[in-house]
Amino acid sequence: MNQSIKPGDNPDLTEERLSGTFDTNSMAAVIYGSDKLAQRRREISEAVSRIPELQDSKPCPFMTREEKILEGSRKSAILNRLLPGLIDLDSFEETVFIHQEVIGIEGHPLALHESLFIPPIATQGTDEQQKKWLGRAQRREIIGCYAQTELGHGSNLRALETTATFDISSQEFILNSPTITSLKWWPGALGKSANWSIVIANLIVHDKNHGPHPFMVQLRDEKSHEPLPGITVGDIGPKMAFNGADNGFLGFENYRIPRENMLMRHSKVTPDGGYIRPPHAKIGYSGMVRVRSRMAAEQGLFLAHALTIAVRYSAIRRQGYLEDRSREVKVLDYQTQQHRLFPSIARAYAFIFCGFETIRLYDQLLIDVQNGNTSGMADLHALTSGLKSVVTHQTGEGIEQARMACGGHGYSMASYISEIYGVAIGGCTYEGENMVMLLQLARYLVKSIEMIQNGKSKNLGPMVAYLAANESEIDLNLGPNEYLKVFQYAARSQAWRATEKFQKLRNSGMSKEQAWNQASVELTRASRLHTRLYIMSTFINHVGSVVDQKIKKVLIDLLNVHITYEVMDIGIYVQGLLSSDQMDLIRNQLYVSLETIRPNAVSLVDSFQISDMQLRSVLGRRDGNVYENLFKWAKSCPLNDKDVLESVTKYLKPMMDKSKL
């Protein structure tokens, strides 16, 4: 049933896999949305494993930053040559996956080319602009990035300072970075690799500022790769993680681009200086909404990486005794270890399922926008703002718990969990700082409650209809939907509480901005609960749609872990709804659910089907042969190339010799 079993594996890990009750390939098909995509991932991994030049030249933790950038560039160039024979070039999923497989999570020159550079051309460029640039970008004749965030401003797009002033006489935009804080800062691949960029700048026509708009800008000469005159560009230096990517800075000084370089599918500037507004005020945010719509699934997979390592290692690590004193027990048998890891497994599945549903909503939104219907833009913008914040925060918590669950070895870079954490936790700030995102969702919730107060409940969107409902009796014996009602109660109560606090402050004479600030903590709490409610709802719906009964059975077990853990976590918000006896029942059900999941724990993480090449973890190896390979890994450390280091001969030995009597 578990397709990961092979001869020579650690017997403890094989024992775990034999205890699984479902087929891991079938579960992978559910995780990734189709049997075809899951199968293609396995085929790509297998094909890549047979190509020696795509393997790591040495373990990533032993590489300098320059070596990581060089390694990523080397592999990118090889992949570009081999891709037609390895993947379907029209498949975004296969393209992203093969780069994750070969280069990993630490970044490379094309890390954002597919996800942030090409999509704006495809969705915001005119047919003529797409004909001019899209093919070149897809063929990688050029390497692009997306330059929005500035040194002094990130989440507040309206405060961006870079300007693009239209010069009617020359039919050009003049780009300028008027202050030090207006330097573009953080775009991946900008530092040294990209020669083109989508640049977000304030559009100025006839001295009127029309706000941020996207422009296609050449940064470097395509032959020499030298920065063009008027361009200041470079790398911002090492980061907490993701150091295989050259995140950069960018400044403009009277840099001219043709009028046709403004992406004009929605907003337009005519040759005579006329400005045509987009059909929806937030349509320019579609690129950000696209990235945020994918973040839930991406973060779920980051969490899956860490959990695969922690669960596998917990199944072979033995420490202490329970009943049998003849042999130490697997640490995965301890309830504390299960409580630490199993709810995170449930969250990883929930995030991935929720992420794919949100991607579906975004794809539908694109179709609607193309047909002139922008009514869903505000709803999806609010939803993805909340998801981005909640999922990134909880993913960071889950990865750190996975690291600590590995004990001392989790602290070693041999586990690779610290790198996974460093890359994943960046999601809390890129594409919008989390608190700002929660407050954006809060505005949507407050607006919805004000509609209810004004007798317009019928106009509420389906995601907020529960805000107008009344409390009902809860019978926890009726299944997951009763737990959903508990969460609805908590989210509804908090949303009303936060809104009423804001309104009370306004009625007291406080300005709107001050009142919002004074109510902001309660408002962010409302946003978190609303988002977690959506995640739970999509998890329940997704499990309900599964046809394979063996898969459905274990997913129901995992769902039970999720709903009981999540409700226990918000106990303070449901004190008026649930009795102490009901809370005790939920707590006991959680412990029972942990025991139920235990035999399938390893198979559940194996189902993510993350190869050893992609995982890059000694602790999380598929074969479970950890200890001998930890020793092998340590011996390969460059510090061990010499028995005596210069630090000893130059400083420590003279100090010791001098101290001798």
Q: CB within 8 A of 478, min separation 6: which ones? A: none
In a domain, 113, yes or no: no
For residue 281, the model assigns a pLDDT of: 60
The reply to whether 260 and 327 lie within a common domain is no
Q: What is the pLDDT of residues 202-255, one digit of tens each?
A: 999 999 999 999 999 999 999 999 999 999 999 999 999 999 999 999 999 999
For residue 549, the model assigns a pLDDT of: 95
Furthest-apart CA pair in the chain: how many Å? 91
Residue 201 in contact with residue 212, Cβ under 8 Å? yes
Torsion of CA 574, 575, 579, 581, to 10 degrees: 90
Last residue of a domain, one of 280, 315, 335: 280
d(CA 31, CA 26): 9
For residue 371, the model assigns a pLDDT of: 78
The reply to whether 197 and 328 lie within a common domain is no
Q: What is the pLDDT of residues 491-526, one digit of tens each?
A: 999 999 999 999 999 999 999 999 999 999 999 999
Read off the amino acid at residue 468. Answer: A
> For residue 333, what is the DSSP state?
G
In a domain, 655, yes or no: no
Last residue of a domain, one of 280, 308, 343: 280
> For residue 253, what is the DSSP state?
S
Checking phi first, is residue 33 left (phi over 0); if not, alpha (psi -120 to 50) or beta? left
In a domain, 47, yes or no: no
| SS3 assignment, position 249 | strand
For residue 279, the model assigns a pLDDT of: 72
The reply to whether 252 and 356 lie within a common domain is no
For residue 287, the model assigns a pLDDT of: 59
The reply to whether 268 and 359 lie within a common domain is no
The reply to whether 257 and 314 lie within a common domain is no
| SS3 assignment, position 546 | coil
For residue 363, the model assigns a pLDDT of: 85
Q: What is the pTM of this model?
A: 0.94
User: H/E element holding 659?
Assistant: helix 653-659
Q: CB within 8 A of 235, min separation 6: which ones? A: 191, 192, 246, 247, 248, 249
The reply to whether 291 and 276 lie within a common domain is no
The reply to whether 165 and 180 lie within a common domain is yes
In a domain, 290, yes or no: yes
State the Cα angle at 110 between 413 and 84, rounded to 5°: 110
Q: What is the pLDDT of residues 348-366, one digit of tens each?
A: 999 999 999 998 888 888 7
What are residue 248's DSSP bridge partners? 235
In a domain, 45, yes or no: no
The reply to whether 353 and 244 lie within a common domain is no
| SS3 assignment, position 547 | coil
In a domain, 639, yes or no: no
Whose CA is closest to 68, among 239, 196, 226, 223? 239
Total domains in the fold of the chain: 2
Torsion sign over Cα 84, 88, 91, 97: negative
d(CA 437, CA 528): 10
Active site residue 431: yes
d(CA 384, CA 549): 32
The reply to whether 275 and 314 lie within a common domain is no
Phi, psi of 209, rounded to the nearest 5 degrees: -90, 115
d(CA 126, CA 350): 37
Residue 326 sits in a domain whose CATH number is 1.20.140.10
Residue 401 in contact with residue 611, Cβ under 8 Å? no
- Provide DSSP, 186-244: --TTTTTT-SEEEEEEEEEETTEEEEEEEEEEE-B-TTT-PBPTTEEEEE----SS-TT
In a domain, 472, yes or no: no
| SS3 assignment, position 184 | strand
| SS3 assignment, position 258 | strand
In a domain, 70, yes or no: no
Q: Is 149 annotated as a binding residue?
A: yes
Last residue of a domain, one of 227, 248, 280: 280
The reply to whether 376 and 344 lie within a common domain is yes
Q: Which is the catalytic residue, given 431, 522, 628, 646?
A: 431
Residue 171 sits in a domain whose CATH number is 2.40.110.10
Distances (CA, A) of 396 to 41, 358, 531: 25, 21, 17
The reply to whether 439 and 493 lie within a common domain is yes
The reply to whether 528 and 609 lie within a common domain is yes
Q: What is the mean pLDDT of each run of 10 residues along the chain (661 residues)?
A: 93 97 97 95 96 95 96 94 93 90 92 90 95 95 96 84 97 98 96 97 96 97 98 97 96 98 95 88 61 88 98 97 91 98 98 93 82 77 93 98 97 97 95 92 96 92 90 85 94 97 97 97 98 97 95 97 96 91 95 98 98 97 97 96 96 95 72
Domain extent for 300? 1-20+283-454+479-631
- Measured from the Cβ of residue 421, the count of other Cβ atoms closer than 10 Å reads 22
